[in-house]
Every structure is written in C-alpha cells, then in structure tokens.
Structure 1
C-alpha cells in the first residue's frame, strides 16, 4: 500500500510546520503531497511554494474546485506547475457542493456530472495542444457567445507547450454515478468517507465507468485510487477515535445545507441515518462538542485506521485487496514515520507508540 501526505485545509492561516512535514514525508518515501481548498486558501499556490523546496515527491490538488476557475485557467495552472516541478504535478478536481458553489463562487450548481464531463474535456484539449480549443457548452462555451458577448472571441491554443500532454487528472467523487464517471474519464479517483464495508460497491461503480472508457484514456490497470484515510496509531482505540470524531461530525453535521449534504448521504448509505440525525441536529444547534461525542466508534473504525499497530495491520488486509492504491494521510511531522511504519509493516516499539500517544495528547 502506497502512502501520501495531505496538508489539509487552512484555518486562520497556513498549517503549522507544513513545509517541515512535507520535507519529512519526502524523506520517508511518501509518494505524493496534496493540498485542499474550500473558501479560503487556494490549492495551487501552496503547492508551488512548498513544492519548490522538494525534488521528488509528487504534487497534487485534493481537490481544486471546478467553480473556482474556468477550465482553461485550471489547465494553465496545471501546465505551469508541471513545468516548474519537473513533471510531478497531478490535477485533482471536484464539483464541491451548492453552498460553496452558489454562495462563494456565485455560480449555479445543478448538473454537476455534466459540468464535470465538459470541464475535464476542455482541460484535456488544452493539454493536448492539437488545435485551438472550442467547446459547444452549454456550461463552458468557447468562444463565449452569450447575449452580452462582444462576438470578438476566437478559439485559442496555449502559448506554452505542456510538459506532459497526458498530465494525470483525478476526480473526487462520492455518489455512485460520480464514481462511475471517474472510471470513465479520469486517470484516478479520490474517494471520501469510503467505508471498508462499501468496497465491493466502489469496485462495481468503477467497473461501470471502465466499461465505457475511451480507448485513448490511460489503461485501466494504471488507474489510481487515492483515499483520504485517517491513520491514528494509539494504544487506546477510544482515544484514537476521539481524534477522528471532530472531522466526521463536521462533515455529517456542518457541511452543506440541511437536506443537501452529500457527505451525510454517504454516511446514510452506510446505515447510520439515525445517528446522523442526532449529529446534524446538535451541530446545527451550535452544540459541536455534543455532536462530536455522538459519532459512534463503530463508524470511525469503518472509515479510519485507529488503535494499536497490530489492530491497524489486521484491518489493512481488506484495504490491500480493494481498489485503493494509496492512503492519503494527515498528521504532524513527528507522527509521519510511525504512520508510515504502521501502514507499510515497519517495526513499532512500545516506547515509540507511547511517545506518540503522549505527543497527540499534548
């Protein structure tokens, strides 16, 4: 199982010691590092800044939101970062949700699958640089021909030659149709809240996309699945689960509008609708501490690797036999060696585990 590192979302400012953690991850053999964006920091700038201090680790966006920039702008950023990094960039894209798309970017959210297909098609045309780029729309028409158009626009081709015309594009997706779309048009899938009890369904959804995958796409055997996976080695399972509960409570209870929370929909499909009702009600009422406490340990264990190293290693077997190719983990720099050793079978002494538990507690 390969392992990658996520810098996570920024809060009031950059993640503390992010560069130290990234360089530690590179030294320890982590395959890639990934940045995120919501409605604060963007995903591309940190990769350029931190990536300039690295030399081998791959650089990916998990995820760049479609509505944050037109497809041509996303392609420009990808071409630029790929050149600057010497061919280490991976473009991870996702549709986000209606609260952010309409509330932050001021764009319509409907038809996310159709928008995604059209968006990635334009990005690939820019990267191919075979002809001036055009698109019939309806979501991203090129040239623009709306009622307020000057009618002076003309098809253009990138002035910069892409370093790689086949620069990899990964698609973030949670719903069955979105996952199938990733299998059809992308080079990789970035799932979220993927349960170890839903791995057969994930494979089925991907296979539906692979069945209609165009011949010119990268071979399906090269398709990557990079899974954001909390990994918390700790002598006590409940203490480890406590470190994951806040994230799950946020996504179940506080992300998206009530009745239109796609993250919660994933949890509901796992059979936790009643628990989700409680978490969401508490979270939206401002009772975040109670909402966090209401996240069941059983759910945490479906979605994360928590507890003593031997427990984590026993649970790894089901993941190693799944569609997942890489775990995307997050943690402080001091924990990255232990996380790597746990996931990849290195030795973990009791003293090291105790020291890590103490550091997490602080």
Structure 2
C-alpha cells in the first residue's frame, strides 16, 4: 500500500503556510568551495564568515582549525545560547583529544571496527521504531541517573526490542564518554547512535573507531558547507547521519544537504522547554522518503502513538527510561505500542 503523507494519517489536520516542494525539486546546495570563501547568507541570521575548505583540501581538514559554527541565536543575542555554551565546551574537550590521538590513529582503529549497520534500515519498520538512550544527565534536568554500567542498560534496551541505542558521549553537560560508547558496542548487536555535538570530521572518525553506526548532526550548530561536508564524510566511512532540526527552515536545510534521517527535537534550544506540537508542525515539511524521528517528550506509549499519528517513523526516548524502575519493560511497552496494527497503515 502506498505510504500516506503525515497529514493524511493525522486525519483532518490541514497545514497552512509554505507547502512542501514537489518531488525532485529538493536539491543539494552548491559547495561553498565552488562559491568561494566569502560570506554566505544564513537563513534568518544575517551572514556568517566561517573557515572554508581550501579547494582540493581533504574533507577531513574541515573543522580542525576551530571554525565558527553557525548558530541562529548568536547574532544579536543578549546572551550566549545553551547550544553555544555546550559547543564551546565540546571544542575544548575535542582539542585535548586531538592532541592525544591523531586522525591517522583513529582511522586505523575505525578500520578494525565491526562493519557499520544500516541506520535507515534499522529505523524503517511496519510500525514506529524506538531509539533508546543512555543518558546520565541533561542541561534541562541536571543529574538523571548514575548509570554505573551503561553496557548493562543497553543490554536491557536490546532485550526490550530497541531498534537503535543512542549513547551520549558529551561529558560536561550529559555525563557521557567515548568509553561508554565502546562499552555498549562490546555488549550489544543493535545499531548504535553516537549522540554528541559534532562539528568536525574528527568526531565522525571517533564515532566509527568506537563502534557507532549512526551519528547525530545538529543543523542549528552547523553552517551549510559544514552540514553537507559532514553528511558526506559520515556516509563515506559507513555512518548514517541522523540530522536534527527544530523548525521548518532547518528541515529545508537538512533536506537540501542530503539527509536520509531527520529528527525533529521538540526541545527549544533557547529555553530548553519541550513542546510536543513542534513535531506535528514541522514533520509535514519532511518528504516521505526520509525517515522521521520524533525526539524529546516521550514519557510512555501514549506519546509514541501521538507522534505516530503526526507522522513519526521512530521516536527517541531517554529520560523516562533512565529514571524509570524497569527500563527493559518500559522499552517493551513502547515497542509493542509502535507495532500496533493501527500504526502499520500506509507504512513500510
């Protein structure tokens, strides 16, 4: 059966405003290398002048000299956004790791890692699939759970039927590490998403070297050239990018950059509040051939079903699992809800 558009599945919902481009009109932007090293116009944020790749230079040099990331909140902001603060810390920690481990060493380790699993295939199902997250803390809630053994938690997720396991590797705000990623990879066969604030290709090589199959790329943290370059680099080394957006404008950027999986985060990056209606508003702008992931705000099966009715192919769940009493049972309940026959209509 042909897959219905999200608005069709939602019933009488009518989307007013800018419509989706006809199939075939989404195109990738011209490379910033061909456009030159001048200032580019960023949507809704004036101009930016970041470090451009020298023509002919390898993509792995992108971001190694601390380029300025695109941020929709930096220009004219009265204060630095939460995202900017996190990325500043990420860059400081990244510089320390780069000083200890060369890119060549990472590539050698990545070559010995298990072959990456297909993230798109993992999230495409007859119903709604579930991404379960290993997360100790967050900027919005602070400490959530100690998680002394992330591998054991991941094993519970796998036993419950998770399609993908997300591992936070950002240390300062989320309490994660690459050691967590490595431990989870050694324990489970389920595809793994490295969830971090990735701004350079070095971090993508880290993801592969430590066993990740997917990597998160946040549109709000990257300018156009960096987004395209990181998607291409990720795919070239076997990673499936999950490209995160927060509004319709970012969806257009993600689609134009070639994203195959788009996650809509219902958490506002300015105030960290969750608004589940964000997905309902934004999802119709995502073409049907792209996997749609609803991020944030899933407390149980009822939220999964609500997101499914708004067009979600998958949901990402973290806080409610790590703070609950029985994560395996909680995952099983979500998976069962996602597999309900009523949600299979028009899918697959």
Q: What TM-score does the superposition give when structure 1 sets the normalisation length? A: 0.45
Structure number with greater Rg is: 1
Q: Taking CA–CA contacts closer than 8 Å with sequence separation of 6 or more, which of the two structures ends up with the larger relative contact order?
A: 2
